[in-house]
Structure 1
Amino acid sequence: MEQRSSTILSKPDWSFNRSVFKSVGYSDDDLNRPVIGIANSWNELVPGHANLRQVAEHVRKGIYRAGGAVAEFGVIAACDGTAQGHAGMHYILPSRDLIANDIEVMVEAHRLDGIVLLGSCDKIVPGMLMAAARLKIPAIFLPGGPMLGGVTFDGRKSDLTTMSEALGMLKSDKIDATSYEQLEELCGPTCGSCAFYGTANTMCCLAEALGMSLPGAALVPAVYADRLRLGEETGRAIVALVNSRISAEKIITYQSLENAIRVLMATGGSTNAVLHLSAVAAELDIAAATMMAAYDSLSRSTPQIAKVNPASRYDMEDFHRAGGIPRVLQEISSLLHEDCITVTGKTVGQNIETYRFKYPPDTNVITSLDKPFSKQKGLAILRGNLAPATAVTKPAAIAPEMHVFTGSARVFDCEEAAEAAILKGGIKAGDVVVIRYEGPKGGPGMREMYKAMKYLYGMGLAKKTALITDGRFSGTNNGCFVGHISPEAAEGGPLAVVRDGDRITIDIPGGNLQLHLSDQEISTRLELWHRPEPKFTRGYLGIYSKLASSAAEGAVIKL
Structure 2
Amino acid sequence: MKTKGPKIPDSISETLRSSAWFGSRDRNGFMHRSWMKNQGTPQRMFDGRPVIGICNTWSELTPCNAHFRQIAEAVKRGVLEAGGFPVEFPVMSLGETLLRPTAMLFRNLVSMDVEESIRANPIDGVVLLCGCDKTTPALIMGAASCDIPTIVVSGGPMLNGKFRGKDIGSGTNLFSMSEDVRAGRMSVDDFVGAEACMSRSAGHCMTMGTASTMASIVEALGLSLPHNAAIPAVDARRYELAQNSGREIVGMVHKGMRISDVVDRRSMQNAVKVNAAIGGSTNAVIHMLAIAGRMEIPLSLDDFDAWSREVPLLVDLMPSGQFLMEDFYYAGGLPALMREMGGLLDGDAKTVNGRTVGENIADAECWDRKVIRSLDNPVRAAAGIAVLRGNLAPNGAIIKPSAASGKLLQHRGKAVVFDSLEDLRARIDDPDLDVDEDSVLVMRNVGLKGFPGMPEVGNMPLPTKLLEKGVRDMVRISDARMSGTAYGTVILHVSPEAAMGGMLALVRDGDMIELDVEGRRLVLDVDDGVLAERSAELPEPPRHSGGGYEQLFMNHVLQPEKGADFDFLVGRRGAKVSQNAH
Alignment of 1:247-396 (within 5 A): 247-287=258-298, 290-355=299-364, 361-396=367-402
Cα deviation for residue 453 of structure 1 reads 4.1
Higher deviation after alignment, 419-428 or 441-450: 419-428
- Name the stretch that deviates more: 262-271 or 170-179: 170-179
- Match for 2:33 among 12, 18, 25? 18
Judged with a 3 Å threshold, the aligned counterparts in structure 2 of structure 1 residues 107 and 455 are, in CA distance, closer, same or farther, namely farther
Distance in 2 between residues matched to 1:348 and 1:325, nearest whole Å = 11
- Range moving further from structure 2, 182-191 or 207-216: 182-191
For the residue of structure 2 that corresponds to 1:410, the secondary structure is strand
Look up the match of 2:204.
Answer: 193
Q: 1:435 aligns with which of 429, 432, 443?
A: 443
- Which amino acid in the other structure matches residue 452 of structure 1? M
Instruction: Name whichever of 105-114 and 420-429 sits farther off.
Output: 420-429
Deviation string for 1:297-323 (max 9, x for gaps)? 112232222221011110111111111
> Which stretch shifts more, 252-261 or 516-525?
516-525
1:473 aligns with 2:482: yes
Structure 1 residues 244 and 556, CA gap change in structure 2 (3 angstroms): same
User: 2-side partners of 1:459 and 1:539: how far apart?
Assistant: 45
Match of 1:165 in 2: 176
Spell out, residue by residue over 1:330-362, the C-alpha distance to the aligned partner (whole angstroms, 9 max, x if none): 11131222112111111111111255x5xx522
Mapping 1:444-459, distance limit 5 Å: 444-449=452-457, 452-453=460-461
| CA deviation map 1:256-293 (0-9, x unaligned) | 11110010111111011100000001012234xx4222
CA contact (8 A) 1:133 1:252 kept: no
Q: How does 1:59-138 map to 2 (within 5 A)?
A: 59-83=75-99, 88-90=100-102, 92-138=103-149
Residue of 242, 265, 268 corresponding to 1:231: 242
Contact 2:279–2:313, Cα closer than 8 Å, also in 1: yes
Question: Counterpart of 1:55?
Answer: 71
Report the equivalent of 1:184.
195
In the alignment, what sits opposite 1:242?
Answer: 253
Deviation at residue 171 of structure 1 after TM alignment: 2.5
Deviations 1:183-211 (A, max 9, x none): 12322111211121111110010000000
Q: 8 Å contact 1:199–1:269 — kept in the other structure?
A: yes
With over 3 angstroms needed to count, the CA separation of the structure-2 counterparts of 1:300 and 1:416, relative to structure 1, is: same
Contact 1:463–1:480 at 8 Å: present in 2 too?
no
Residue 369 of structure 1: how far off its partner (Å):
2.1
RMSD: 2.0
Q: Distance in 2 between matches of 1:429 and 1:324?
A: 39
Match in the other structure for 2:566:
557
Structure 1 pair 98/480, CA: closer, same or farther in 2 (3 Å)?
same
Moved more, 412-421 or 238-247: 412-421
Separation in 1, partners of 2:485, 2:429: 20
The gaps in structure 2 that reach 5 residues or longer are 1-13, 569-582
CA contact (8 A) 1:4 1:113 kept: yes
Deviates more, 1:411-420 or 1:316-325: 411-420
Higher helix share: 1
2: distance between equivalents of 1:472 and 1:141? 25
For the residues of structure 1 that align with 2:295 and 2:470, how far apart are their CA atoms?
42
Matched, 1:530 2:539: yes
Q: 2:7 — aligned with what?
A: none
Relative to 1, partners in 2 of residues 1:213 and 1:555: Cα closer, same or farther, differing over 3 Å?
same
Q: 1:60 Cα shift?
A: 0.6
Q: Which amino acid aligns with 2:34?
A: S
Q: Distance in 2 between matches of 1:455 and 1:230?
A: 46
For 1:209 and 1:464, the matched residues in 2 are separated by: 32
SS of alignment partner, residue 115 of structure 1: strand
**Higher mean Cα deviation, 362-371 or 502-511?**
362-371
From 406, 412, 416, the counterpart of 1:406: 412
* Separation (CA, whole Å) in 1 of partners of 2:164 and 2:301: 38
* Runs (5+) with no aligned partner, structure 1: none
Deviates more, 1:453-462 or 1:112-121: 453-462
TM-score, length basis structure 2: 0.90
Output the amino acid matched with 2:367: P
Provide the rounded CA distance (Å) in 2 between the counterparts of 1:333 and 1:138: 29
Task: Count the aligned residue pairs.
Answer: 549
Distance of 1:388 and 1:467 partners within structure 2: 18
Tell me the residue number matched to 1:5.
18
Aligned equivalents of 2:297 and 2:65: distance in 1? 31
Deviations 1:200-224 (A, max 9, x none): 1100100000000100011101111
Q: Cα offset for 1:533?
A: 3.0
Task: Give, in whole Å, the separation in 1 of the partners of 2:101 and 2:232.
Answer: 26
Matches within 5 A, 1:37-48: 37-48=53-64
Counterpart CA distance in 1 for 2:413 and 2:34 is: 69
The one-letter code sitting in structure 2 at the alignment partner of 1:127 is A
In structure 2, distance between residues paired with 1:272 and 1:462 = 26
Quick one: distance in 2 between partners of 1:411 and 1:153?
Answer: 39
Letter in 2 for 1:258: Q
Q: Deviations over 1:516-555 (max 9, x none)?
A: 1122222221111123231243121121012110011111
Deviations 1:434-482 (A, max 9, x none): 1111111112111111663488797677644221101111111111110
Structure 1 or 2, whichever has the larger Rg, is 2
Q: Secondary structure at the match of 1:151?
A: strand
TM-score by length of 1: 0.94
Write the distance in 2 (CA, Å) between the matches of 1:422 and 1:440: 23
The one-character-per-residue Cα deviations of 1:368-402 (angstroms, maximum 9, x if unpaired) are: 22332222232110001100010010001012112
- After superposing the two structures, state which structure 1 stretch, 156-165 or 264-273, moved more: 156-165
Q: Residue 82 of structure 1: SS of its match in structure 2?
A: coil
- The structural deviation recorded for 1:420 is 3.6
Counterpart residue type for residue 444 of structure 1: P
Partner Cα separation in structure 1 for residue 330 and residue 463 of structure 2: 31
Structure 2: distance between partners of 1:312 and 1:553: 30
Among 189, 208, 212, the alignment partner of 2:219 is 208
Contact 1:506 1:514 in 2 (8 A): yes
Partner of 1:30: 45
* Change beyond 3 A, Cα 1:324–1:331: same
Q: 2: CA distance between counterparts of 1:28 and 1:297? A: 55
Tell me if structure 1 keeps the 8 A contact 2:171–2:486: no
The code of the aligned residue for 1:490 comes to: A
8 Å Cα contact 2:140-2:291 kept in structure 1: yes
The code of the aligned residue for 1:550 comes to Q
Partner of 1:219: 230
Q: Which residue of 1 aligns with 2:572?
A: none
Greater displacement, 112-121 / 43-52: 43-52
Distance 1:557-1:154 versus aligned 2 partners, 3 A rule = farther
For residue 204 of structure 1, give the secondary structure of its aligned residue in structure 2: helix
Q: Is the 8 A contact 2:480 2:494 kept in 1?
A: yes
Deviations 1:36-72 (A, max 9, x none): 0000111112221011111111111111011001110
